[in-house]
Structure 1
Amino acid sequence: MKNKKTALVTGVGRKAGIGAAIASRLREDGWTVITTYWSGYDRRMPWGADENVQGIEADLADPATPARLFDQIDDDVQALVLAHCESVNSSLLDTTVDSFDRHFAVNARASWLLIREFAQRYRGPHGAGRIVTLTSDHVVHNLPYGASKGALDRITLAAAGELGHLGITANAVNPGPTDTGWIPEAHRDAFAQHNPLGRIGTPRDCASLVAFLCGPEGGWVNGQVLVSNGGAQ
């Protein structure tokens, strides 16, 4: 019998990342978790690729990837968590067209196509389907990332309004600055001081909220962009 509590989590390329924390937390709750990663992105970034990562390697800049990905999964997917991203800092005046297009291809277009595939193939219980996307409100000197995340928010809200008849909810989570290894040591204290709780967010903080939204208790939360950042201003 196919497992009816399977989650697909994208963007699980680094053990220190939010995606990995979400996958781990969902497994603790009894989910069968399938993950994706794209080593080509991690190799371009300062942290490099985690050579021991497991999951399905998926280039989400390719519009054919979402359908191929779901074709590879035997179980019916009940929760779709989109933790993947393209994120390369650049500003309004120096962002290239190629970079802008890649950000939208990965962060917006791929997310739409993944959500579409999920909805078209959903066979779970009515009211148990879940979509959770990870978003951000950072845009100054991070233009293509922030703009594409804004588009992702709208895609998520569209899913919440259009997929209710399938029993699927859709929400976005903005975790704020999260300690996944990208914050320079010189800036860590400043990030902590700007948070009322006096610390930086952890991947586990975000994972706990995502797990709640994916679970039965989160079923009445729908169409929300949730800021979960400890009150950072």
Structure 2
Amino acid sequence: MPKLPHPTSAELRRDPLPLRGRTALVTGASRRGGIGFAVARRLAAYGASVYLHHHVAHDEAMPWGGDRPAEVADAVRDVRGAPDAVVAHGPADLTAPDAPARLIRDAAEALGGRLDIVVANHALSGQDGTLDTIDAAMLDAHWAVDARSVVLLVQAFARHRAATHAADTGGRVVMMTSGQDIADGMPGEIAYALQKGALASVTRSLATALAPQSVTVNTVNPGPVDTDYLDGETYDSIAELFPAKRWGMPDDPARLIAWLATDEAAWITGQVIDSEGGFRRTLG
């Protein structure tokens, strides 16, 4: 194999829009208080066209409620780095086995027929418990959304890439985990921790599978992030576990994820990356 030459002077000059011309799907991007929204804004600001996936019924069933998808898309559109970049949105209930493939198709069609980046940010909230309280229904529900749908999404993305632009570079997959393997783990959220752990474990296998298509696969652990789901004394006690004495904010992991989507991260794949501000799982 020939050695790659050093970058030219032109190549070393950073493009202010490093994702200019790229297209991205961000799942779970239906709330302006969430990580998915922050990721979509960063990608759009870097020049990408972005498709925002939403499942409003899930958010409306949660204490924090849902936002209007069109308004969320408008807020992303306002920060576009490239004036001609497209910002589109659409629904999908990813509990359905055929939904991931349809979502990839819908996103690609809305963005001009190609898809370069997939950020699988969605997850099932609630319906979880301790080892004593979980049951088969809880485990199956989290499996369907948190793990199965993500792997099927990656599968559909790989098939899309093979059929449309297999020779292109710049393909990216970013999945999300939750630090369930750090310190005391997540004993109160066994079903969620199990499925998120599965994604962390399969990261390297997926990276190897997609390497021939010039697609990198990485997983990000954002740590505790303030997405408007907690307040009061519990919120304050968790803030004390960060060296900076503050929670992570949605844009904290979004900056890392957006960078992973750029060419500067082309040699990073198969990694599970913590982006949690030095968070300590216990007070000890």
TM-score by length of 1: 0.94
Equivalent residue of 1:30, what SS?
coil
Equivalent residue of 2:208, what SS?
helix
In structure 2, the residue matched to 1:129 is 171
In structure 2, the residue matched to 1:84 is 122
Deviates more, 1:70-79 or 1:114-123: 70-79
Equivalent residue of 1:163, what SS?
helix
In structure 1, the residue matched to 2:213 is 166
In structure 1, the residue matched to 2:58 is 41
In structure 1, the residue matched to 2:266 is 219
The aligned runs of 1:145-184 (5 Å cut-off) are 145-184=192-231
Partner Cα distance (1:96, 1:208) in 2: 37
Equivalent residue of 2:139, what SS?
helix
Larger Rg: 2
Cα drift, residue 125 of structure 1:
5.2
In structure 1, the residue matched to 2:84 is none
Which structure 1 residue ranges, 5 or more long, are not aligned? none
- Aligned-residue RMSD, C-alpha: 1.5
Deviates more, 1:22-31 or 1:134-143: 134-143
Cα drift, residue 66 of structure 1:
1.2
Alpha-carbon displacement from aligned partner over 1:95-147 (angstroms, at most 9, x marks no partner): 12112101000111000000001011112654311000111124211011110
Q: Which structure is higher in RCO with an 8 Å CA cutoff and minimum separation 6?
A: 1
**Matching residue within 148, 160, 171 for 1:109:** 148
> Are the equivalent residues in 2 in contact too, given 1:4–1:76 (CA < 8 A)?
no
Partner Cα distance (1:101, 1:228) in 2: 28
Partner Cα distance (1:156, 1:105) in 2: 18
State the percentage of identical aligned residues: 37
- Give every structure 1 segment of 4 or more consecutive aligned residues whose post-TM-superposition deviation is greater than 4 Å: none
The aligned runs of 1:85-100 (5 Å cut-off) are 85-88=123-126, 89-100=128-139
> Are the equivalent residues in 2 in contact too, given 1:10–1:84 (CA < 8 A)?
yes
Equivalent residue of 1:26, what SS?
helix
Equivalent residue of 1:120, what SS?
helix
Does 1:189 find its partner at 2:236?
A: yes
Alpha-carbon displacement from aligned partner over 1:168-201 (angstroms, at most 9, x marks no partner): 0000000100011112222222122111122110
In structure 1, the residue matched to 2:99 is 65
Amino acid in structure 1 at the alignment position of 2:36 = G
Cα drift, residue 77 of structure 1:
0.7
Equivalent residue of 1:77, what SS?
coil
